[in-house]
Chains A and B, each alone.
Chain A
């Protein structure tokens, strides 16, 4: 019985430990490289949208890559 109680207590402690707020592991002052414009996921939206539109017209697949197509299928 003591064994079950110990296991329960250990589990409860683990769960409580899980409630501790998550500490950011990359501090704001450590994000210099991430803030560099060359690390932007979409540096030029007008260009990214256009080329994604072209790919969508020439490929059977669509979605989840940043942009969707327009009305022109351009046979």
Chain B
């Protein structure tokens, strides 16, 4: 029996807080300028594909939202990740694997006057990680519908397992001697403000606190070991049992006065109790054309400092109380450029169909790590080339309003 790498990174234990915000809850995804209305009735069928660093994740997502009596809106989502991984982590200490994650969600919004109440439940299931999340929120329009204030709360309960592969048959199964738990709580608040006839601003804040098993049960640190031929050996990661993060974001969206188009910009500052500080800048441009087309372009810059207990190569096996070598805990920067096209259509033969769209989006991510080295490239321990990761993200989806 030997361990394998999972599709699930426990370090990213935001786990199955999944999609509880912009997908479902208008209390975080700031509503449109026409306030105090329920989201539109629509259905979406999406195919997604992530391909980068030896990892391919693809699958469908189906989202249906329907309102009743202009008071209640129900939303349901089915989402599937099919994972095939031969990432640098996997290649350095384990063998490639495949896995699946299925997520199902149900949410309900209730509109009363200028107040929207939201509640929902999300279930995420993969072979070594089960996540159950409940959320609720309230959103209030005020000052002539120019201002919307929203607050929300999420609670996630997660079960962490570890898969092992039989050395002879190759079949994988859960390690019966390994079961851990992790709880997550999140508080969100946002203020959406119509600033002028052409400008909307949003301020958002989110506090998340995790408690329990935050490690990835497969990932390992490496430490200098003169007795090893390659100059280092591996040992299990040890993470703190709690993590609290806070993030604040400001966003502006502006309708150009000269022709029909929109620009938007977002800045986010993030820090957490593990010592990570990060900044995100995102800009976008939306341009309608030819009557029934909409084109989008966007750019995102992300940078972060490493966690206090992150090292690429520890000088000894037990250098620190906590030790991690997850590249998402290291110092790095990422650039993402994306484009999208939407074609809108109407069908007279289907009177119930208000309109439909066919959409294609493509994003290209480029990540450069400052202190995470590619051990698969060989070389002296601690002098291997720095790791770089490029990834392509494709989304193709069809939407129908009814």
Task: Say whether A8 faces chain B, with CB atoms less than 8 Å apart.
Answer: no
Is A75's CB under 8 angstroms from B85's CB?
yes
Q: Given A39-B255, A50-B395, A61-B278, are A69 and B18 also a contact pair (CB < 8 Å)?
A: yes
Is A65's CB under 8 angstroms from B89's CB?
no
Is B90's CB under 8 angstroms from A42's CB?
no
Interface core residue of A39, A46, A52, A67 (most chain B CB under 10 Å): A46
User: Per-residue CB proximity of B195-213 to A under 8 Å, as 1/0?
Assistant: 0111010101111100000
- Chain A residues, CB < 8 A from B32: 34-35, 39-41
Is B34's CB under 8 angstroms from A31's CB?
yes
Is B81's CB under 8 angstroms from A72's CB?
yes
Is A65's CB under 8 angstroms from B17's CB?
no
- Chain B residues, CB < 8 A from A55: 300, 302, 336
Q: Given A61-B270, A72-B81, A74-B50, are A23 and B22 also a contact pair (CB < 8 Å)?
A: no
Contact-size category for A: 35 or more
**Nearest chain B residue, comparing its CB with the CB of A27:** B144
Is B11's CB under 8 angstroms from A41's CB?
no
- Chain B residues, CB < 8 A from A44: 44, 359, 397, 399
User: Per-residue CB proximity of A31-60 to B under 8 Å, as 1/0?
Assistant: 111111011111011111111111111111
Q: Given A47-B397, A71-B103, are A36 and B23 also a contact pair (CB < 8 Å)?
A: no
Q: Given A57-B9, A60-B329, are A74 and B85 also a contact pair (CB < 8 Å)?
A: yes
Is B101's CB under 8 angstroms from A63's CB?
no
Q: Given A53-B19, A64-B206, are A74 and B81 also a contact pair (CB < 8 Å)?
A: yes
Give A69 Cβ to nearest chain B Cβ, in Å: 4
Task: Say whether B309 faces chain A, with CB atoms less than 8 Å apart.
Answer: no
Interface core residue of B16, B22, B61, B188 (most chain A CB under 10 Å): B22
Task: Say whether B352 faces chain A, with CB atoms less than 8 Å apart.
Answer: no
Is B262's CB under 8 angstroms from A60's CB?
no
User: Per-residue CB proximity of B268-291 to A under 8 Å, as 1/0?
Assistant: 101000001010100000101000
Give B234 Cβ to nearest chain A Cβ, in Å: 15
- Chain A residues, CB < 8 A from B218: 75
Is B249's CB under 8 angstroms from A64's CB?
yes
**Nearest chain A residue, comparing its CB with the CB of B101:** A72
Task: Say whether B383 faces chain A, with CB atoms less than 8 Å apart.
Answer: no
Task: Say whether A18 faces chain B, with CB atoms less than 8 Å apart.
Answer: no
**Nearest chain B residue, comparing its CB with the CB of A52:** B22
**Nearest chain B residue, comparing its CB with the CB of A68:** B17
Is A68's CB under 8 angstroms from B143's CB?
no
Is B83's CB under 8 angstroms from A74's CB?
yes
Question: Roughly how many angstroms separate A23 CA and B12 CA in the complex, as a whole number?
Answer: 45
Which of A49, A61, A70 lies in contact with B276, CB distance below 8 A?
Answer: A61
- Chain A residues, CB < 8 A from B24: 45
Question: Roughly how many angstroms separate A37 CA and B300 CA in the complex, as a whole number?
Answer: 22
Question: Roughly how many angstroms separate A28 CA and B33 CA in the complex, as a whole number?
Answer: 10
Task: Find residues 21-35 in chain B having any chain A CB closer than 8 Å to their own CB.
Answer: 21-24, 28-34
**Nearest chain A residue, comparing its CB with the CB of B250:** A64
Provide 22 A-B residue pairs closer than 8 Å at the C-beta atoms, listed in order of the A residue. A31-B34, A34-B34, A35-B32, A36-B260, A39-B253, A39-B262, A41-B192, A47-B359, A47-B397, A50-B48, A52-B22, A58-B367, A60-B270, A60-B304, A63-B188, A64-B268, A64-B270, A69-B15, A71-B18, A73-B12, A73-B216, A75-B55
Nearest first, the 9 A-B pairs at minimum CB distance are A73-B9, A24-B144, A34-B33, A63-B206, A49-B23, A61-B270, A68-B17, A70-B18, A61-B278
